[in-house]
Amino acid sequence: MDVDRYEIINKFGYKYGTFIQYLIDYSELAIFDIMNNKGSANPDPNWIPEKKIKGKWCSPTQQDIHNNTQISLPLQRVICDKLKTLNILETKRRGAPARNWYRLNLVIMRKKIYEESD
């Protein structure tokens, strides 16, 4: 059960949906790069196994998010807080220098999208 970007935007609104979709795309690109470095047998960039996506943390900078989505830093914080209360997003700060790390719970997100549609 894949979630279409338009379903995400329709359910959560444009800015929230754009933020979620950026994190999904960023995670998939990072995973694809890892798989290619290990010599993945499947060259299709759209092919990413579900088990590789689940539970993966990604760490785009706030500036990367702004450059790619045009979502300001204050609005990024509001979106993160809202998505955390919905249990869709987990965040942590790690490393030196510290970076924000994000992990989407795609199972809960899909349930929230389809619970009112059914």
Cα 46 to Cα 42: distance, rounded to the nearest angstrom? 10
**Number of domains observed in the structure of the chain:** 1
pLDDT of residue 47 exceeding 80: no
pLDDT score, position 105: 84
Confidence of residue 74 (pLDDT cuts 50, 70, 90): very high
Cβ neighbours of residue 65 closer than 8 Å, sequence gap 6 or more: 19, 22, 71, 76
Looking at per-residue confidence, does 39 or 13 come out higher?
Answer: 13
Structural domain boundaries, residue 9: 5-115
Contact call for residues 18 and 68 (beta carbons, < 8 A)? no
What's residue 117's pLDDT? 52
CATH number at residue 63: 1.10.10
pTM: 0.69
